Amino acid sequence: MATNGEAEQTLRHQEVGHKSLLQSDALYQYILETSVYPREPEAMKKLREVTAKHPWNIMTTSADEGQFLNMLLKLINAKNTMEIGVYTGYSLLATALALPDDGKILAMDINRENFEIGLPIIEEAGVAHKIDFREGPALPVLDQMIEDGKHHGSFDFIFVDADKDNYINYHKRLIDLVKVGGLIGYDNTLWNGSVVAPPDAPMRKYVRYYRDFVLELNKALAADPRIEICMLPVGDGITLCRRVC
Ligand code: SAM
Ligand code: CA
């Protein structure tokens, strides 16, 4: 029979809005403590701890997802990358550490202040020179790049972790900017597990608001013949899209 503590944990785990999508919190903790925290680069640990004190810390990329991104970028030998949605820079640092010394990340966020929380740590890690940070909404920058005509098919990897109601709009442009054979990663595609919740399930307001956009995106990606896809239950769900034509 489950103890009170276990029952409480199970309930908390099932509530829509809980971050981990794994079977239990204990299992997730096991992953972190066995293979993520012991191998986390010092700079990422420092940034994670600084971010944990910030009021919007729920937005940060989790340490296991940071580790995953870092390895993925090395596996595909990524050099020219883009990130939409930086916050304090945890996924940005995971990326910057994975790229070669002449690698590049075009990083966009409407909020520079939060990026500046992480910047001293990124500088100390010796990887700030790879980052071109642009403050402001990402869409006009993408439109400008497409109009320029110089960036078509030029990105090895693009990580999208910003306003979920614009993911479809990003996809329309990014499919042109990513290389054939390159990857786009759309983050939070399982949206706190809410993608399978009944409409009357208790949900935080922002979870409910963005849910339909995430559902639409997932359908659109699954039906897009220009990409191969793989939806991974890492973090809050990340859908990898490999451009095939
Ligand atoms: N990848 C980040 C990390 O590892 O910590 C987390 C990003 S956070 C979930 C989402 C970010 O998207 C916020 O910092 C927010 O300011 C940014 N954002 C929201 N709308 C945006 C837009 N239209 N263009 C660019 N960034 C945007
Ligand atoms: Ca995210």
Residue 3 has what pLDDT? Answer: 46
Distance CA 3, CA 16 (A): 22
All structural domains of the chain, each given as residue ranges with its CATH number in brackets, are 4-243 (3.40.50.150)
In this prediction, residue 20 carries a pLDDT of: 63
Q: Which atom of ligand 1 is nearest to the CA of 188?
A: 9
DSSP states of 186-243 as a string? EE-TTGGGGGGS-TTS---HHHHHHHHHHHHHHHHHHT-TTEEEEEE-STT-EEEEEE
Determine whether the shortest distance from the Cβ of 191 to ligand 1 is under 6 A: no
Say yes or no: CB of residue 185 within 6 Å of ligand 1.
Answer: no
**Which is it for strands 155-160 and 104-109: parallel, antiparallel or unpaired?**
unpaired
Residue 62 near ligand 1, beta carbon < 6 Å? no
pLDDT in tens, the chain (245 residues): 444 444 444 444 444 444 567 778 899 999 999 999 999 999 999 999 999 999 999 999 999 999 999 999 999 999 999 999 999 999 999 999 999 999 999 999 999 999 999 999 999 999 999 999 999 999 999 999 999 999 999 999 999 999 999 999 999 999 999 999 999 999 999 999 999 999 899 999 999 999 999 999 999 999 999 999 999 999 999 999 999 99
Identify which ligand lies nearest to the alpha carbon of 190.
2
pLDDT the model gives residue 1: 42
* ipTM confidence: 1.00
